[in-house]
Chain A
């Protein structure tokens, strides 16, 4: 689905639906957070947003990141984007952008870049790079391969799940156009939410691993 193209520039459905999701998320947030109450009484929408934000924050903390507010914008946006992309599958004619490998690859690339950035921020360049030769320098190529493969796995896992879901629903619509696709759509919603959670948690784990690898050294040294 290409809306507009010029040379290598293409305005396809993935980008347009992404913009729509961005518009909904940012616009909705803007609308709700216009009049936030700092008192004990607050609106339902504010309650919903606070529940979502604090739940994500707690998940990040549970993974092991001691300052979740620092990682919340990145990881929270990952979750909300993937979850919203899945949630909108209930809208007819909508194709989730996460069903495109380009989108999942872009998200995986963001994680791929964010992990060393957070690691370097926490440990410095030397400290982060040293983590690649831990426990011995022999592990260097394996660590690099691990970095690349897990990024690829992130992208492909999300893409595969989302695409398969959308594809199954479209196939089922042609075969049994009534009840069964509804059930599968509901199942797809669940799958989408699980995938959003998995994607976010894995990203959080990677970041936590990057920021804790060299931190564990002094902790262990101190404990011994």
Chain B
């Protein structure tokens, strides 16, 4: 017989036992392990998602801070650029002002030098001219220069118009000062007497007269009372010489150095302040 019922029962029992054994030793532990692993994976995925979220948040924060930092840096850079521009402008202005001051000082110094040089040349020229004139007069005739000057002065006193005489007399009366006669050289007694006589005759008979030697007058003689003056000097003749010297200096300066603007300015200044041309005829200043 193909079917043995004892075997069937035994195999049924065996199978049921096997089911229990397999459930006990295989399915349950394996399923538990799988579930535990799935839970672990799920937890790790959850953690990973949490970390991802946190990382994204941190990245956003970092991005925000980075943007803020960039913006702040740009602001600082802009401010620094602006400050640098302002400082540059200020420094340039200071430098320009310093350069202008220096230039003005140099110009002033050059002007002063030129003025002194001009004055020195003028005085030297006056002295030389005076010496030449004296020697020429001495060589040509017996008359001395001082004598000629005294005679010219006396003649000018005598040729004064009435108005000038009146002004001089009134000036003398108001202060009762003596007439001060200044001369470049020591007037000889003869000439002093002649001048005194000329003054007393022409202006005031009782005039007190005081003679004085002054080196400032170059080859001249003058009478001063209360600011009024009658004078003759060869300095006026030297003005043309001075003008020629100035023109010569200008030419030198124009062909020469970097100092030409200052010298030119000085020359213009001088020619502007003394516009009158040199004249052979000495001006008689009287009031």
Residues of B within 8 Å of A40, CB to CB, are 37, 40-41
Per-residue contact bits, chain A 53-75, to B (CB 8 Å; 1 contact, 0 not): 11000000000000001001110
Alpha-carbon distance A10/B40, docked complex (angstroms): 51
In the complex the two chains form, is A107's CB within 8 Å of B11's CB? yes
Residues of A181-220 at the interface with B, using a CB-CB cut-off of 8 Å, are: none
In the complex the two chains form, is A12's CB within 8 Å of B7's CB? yes
The 8 Å CB contact of A14, one of B11, B23, B41, is: B11
Closest 4 CB pairs of A and B: A106-B11, A102-B7, A38-B36, A29-B26
Q: Is B48 an interface residue (CB 8 A)?
A: no
Per-residue contact bits, chain A 22-53, to B (CB 8 Å; 1 contact, 0 not): 10011001100100111110100010011001
In the complex the two chains form, is B7's CB within 8 Å of A109's CB? no
In the complex the two chains form, is A74's CB within 8 Å of B14's CB? no
The 8 Å CB contact of B7, one of A10, A37, A38, is: A10
Closest to A74 in B: B19
Q: Is A175 an interface residue (CB 8 A)?
A: no
Q: Is A115 an interface residue (CB 8 A)?
A: no
Residues of A2-16 at the interface with B, using a CB-CB cut-off of 8 Å, are: 8-10, 12, 14-15
Q: Is A101 an interface residue (CB 8 A)?
A: yes
Q: Is B91 an interface residue (CB 8 A)?
A: no
Per-residue contact bits, chain B 9-23, to A (CB 8 Å; 1 contact, 0 not): 111101111111111
Interface centre among A10, A53, A69 (most CB of B within 10 A): A53
Q: Is A180 an interface residue (CB 8 A)?
A: no
Q: Name B's interface SS.
A: helix
In the complex the two chains form, is B36's CB within 8 Å of A29's CB? no
Q: Is A76 an interface residue (CB 8 A)?
A: yes
What is the CB-to-nearest-CB distance from A224 to chain B, in angstroms, rounded to a whole number? 38
Residues of B within 8 Å of A26, CB to CB, are 18, 21-22, 25-26
In the complex the two chains form, is A106's CB within 8 Å of B15's CB? yes
The 8 Å CB contact of B27, one of A14, A36, A38, A72, is: A72
What is the CB-to-nearest-CB distance from B23 to chain A, in angstroms, rounded to a whole number? 4
Alpha-carbon distance A30/B24, docked complex (angstroms): 9
Known: A29-B25, A77-B22, A110-B12. A14 touches B30 (CB 8 A): no
The 8 Å CB contact of A106, one of B12, B27, B32, is: B12
Per-residue contact bits, chain B 24-52, to A (CB 8 Å; 1 contact, 0 not): 01110111111011001100000000000
Known: A36-B33, A38-B33, A49-B26. A110 touches B16 (CB 8 A): yes
In the complex the two chains form, is A37's CB within 8 Å of B33's CB? yes
In the complex the two chains form, is B7's CB within 8 Å of A73's CB? no
Q: Is A151 an interface residue (CB 8 A)?
A: no
Alpha-carbon distance A199/B11, docked complex (angstroms): 16
Q: Is A142 an interface residue (CB 8 A)?
A: no
Residues of B within 8 Å of A19, CB to CB, are 14
- Extra pairs beyond A25-B21, A106-B11 (20, CB < 8 Å): A8-B6, A18-B11, A19-B14, A25-B18, A25-B26, A26-B18, A26-B21, A29-B26, A40-B40, A49-B30, A69-B31, A72-B31, A73-B22, A73-B23, A77-B22, A102-B7, A106-B12, A106-B14, A107-B15, A109-B12
Per-residue contact bits, chain A 152-188, to B (CB 8 Å; 1 contact, 0 not): 0000000000000000000000000000000000000
